[in-house]
Structure 1
Amino acid sequence: MTTRSRRTFDAAFKLHIVQMIREQNLSIAQVCRDQGLIDSAVRRWLAQYDAEKLGQPGIGNPLTPEQRRIRDLERENQRLREDVSFLKKAFRLLRPRTEMIHRLVVQGREEASVSRRCRLLGVSRAGLYTAQRRQRKTHPCPLSAALKAAFQASGNNYGSRRLSAALKAQGLPAGRYRVRSLMTRHALKARWRRKFVHTTDSKHDLPVATNVLNRQFNPSRPDQAWVADITYIRTGRGWLYLAAVLDLYSRKVVGWAMAPNMPAELVCTALQMAIALRQPKSGLIVHTDRGSQYASQAHRDLLARNGLIASMSRKGNCWDNAVMERFFLNLKMERVWQRSYANQGEAIGDITQYIVGFYNTHRLHSTLGYRSPADFEKATT
């Protein structure tokens, strides 16, 4: 009978698990099931995190100056919330006509966003826009004719930014969001293609590993061969890059990291998560493309410290890493392309939910006999 060795986790991994639960609204049971962790240990990490965040001495430690400052700021925020609540109640007693409030919201658009002003003045954005639409029906917009002419003159290629500049050049005041609203009303849609972002930079002088994996995508046991890669996610605040590590045996995503850029640290963070979670034996193959991130000194050192073997695809051959490419395609078809992320934080939470709450634990894979990666590992190991 073999005894199972006690696993150890560093502070970065514990913080990552706590953030998945606290900031991305995942349940403790769900995270423990997916990551193979013990419920009591995760709850202990959460208690320690909450104590430190609230500035409590906790765990026998006195308050630090930073913790005292945080507690003072929290008290000040509470006082400000109470003051704002009192002012809102007073505003309701002396409430002016709705038309005057709407005019105040529009006039102060440059100082603060419309949504913020509506929230502070206690009116809904839907009500504001409905009132504006009623006004436009009774007063036709003089910009419409000039907008249509400028759009046709551009060969139906201009978007809201260029059309706004074209109208301003004619002496017509037209902001981008005003132009965008008019384009929607008149069904003016610019010709548009999904932007392609090249994430693999193989034009470097760094060492390149041989193709050890050689498309052997069906290993006989877990943690025998992993594949890794980077993809991109479009958000309203720019690109988000996702680095992931996948176990070929069960097709389970065992490590991932996301950031608005893609340095070597991004792929190292994803691999470190996989190593901390799975604690593989020496000799495991980690297959990637020839990107500069995976050929970097930091990534090569991480592989060497853990006795892992580097493997890289042949130049320009995406089929050598087809399993990871398929995961990224599934992610985008099933989740990303059905969403419109306002910012990177929203995308990180949704993608983490997809990996932890659906892909690893519920999604049925034809390669696995229509079982989820978690169920497949449970049944075969």
Structure 2
Amino acid sequence: MKQGRKIYDPAFKKQAVQLSYERSNISELARELGIEVTMLYKWRKDYQEFGEKSFPGKGNLKQTPEQEKIHELEKRLRDAELERDILKKGNRHFFQERSMKYEFIKNHESLFPIEKMCSVLKVSYSSYYKWKARPLSNRERRKREIKKQITSIYFASKQRYGSPRITVELDSSGFKTSRITVAKYMKELGLRSKLSRKFRVTTDSKHNYLIAENILNRNFLVGSPSQAWVSDITYLQTKDGFLYLTAIIDLFDRKVIGWSLSTGMSTTETSLAAWKMAVKNRKADSKLIFHSDRGVQYASKKFTNTLAFYGVKRSMSRKGNCWDNAVAESFFKSLKTELIYGNKLITREQMELEIFEYIEIWYNKKRRHSTLNYQTIEEFNNQNKIYKNVA
């Protein structure tokens, strides 16, 4: 029967090598030790190269002092990177109550080592497992469920909702809680709605066309559809250059009833294109006030004649007064805050798709509007049954 290969422990190898330095006949020493002379020469070579690290044992690597130092530095770097990743994901939990830290560890067990997370977040390893094993109280169970719902709503809204709108969404799902509690839980979860930037308006009012009076006079609350529409134009930056978005909003329910995206700023591409969509969606007649800024796209003869054909009353903001068209500007501010700011530049084609989704699916159907008492446009119109057939 064939015998298996004999394994020599590190101490034996080291002593054999040291003894070989004292003997003049290495072959004779090998025979005395019962090993091959070639094996003894190999051990001597290893010892000359790696010194005390020559015989690390099964499964370990031979390393020179320099290699060992590099290995140790690499290990420290990996530990530092792991701690960085844990802190990056869990930094909002660092100064939170202990249970929140435990919750973070539990939710990331598959991603990071538990002991490392406990160390970084400065909690006891054994205390974490005691917490994990104990049964939840009804209060803690409800808190967890509400936080889960908050997180779901927050990301479903693409991080656009703050505590007021999330509170309404929770209420509509059967979770009664206060806005203050929602704000507190959002802070604990590190959830924050997208922040706005200073709004910039693109208006060319240097023209010789006639300017209409401001007959709307900031009367932004109206009692019926097609009583007053407001419109404005803004620019959207893309990888391929600018796109220009024109929007027409009915003040009754704040719905964007007409809009257009264009690469140019002509009347045909902007105000007139948006108008054609608007009149397909809602009736326009002599009872309607159409309000805009003094831009050439709204003051041009082509657009003025179109409004005259429908018998619509024109209204324009006063010079340099953006508050006269606050609703339209507010819409653009919401769109840029919720859709564009903080995101990378995309192509025109991608932007067109994003704008379509934002207006037709998000803003007109799902978004909760503070002006409508945090109802969606559809909920608002359903509540006002007399207008249930409004598009």
TM range (shorter): 0.3 to 0.5
Instruction: Tell me which of the two structures has the higher relative contact order, counting C-alpha pairs closer than 8 angstroms and 6 or more residues apart.
Output: 1
Whose radius of gyration is greater, 1 or 2? 2
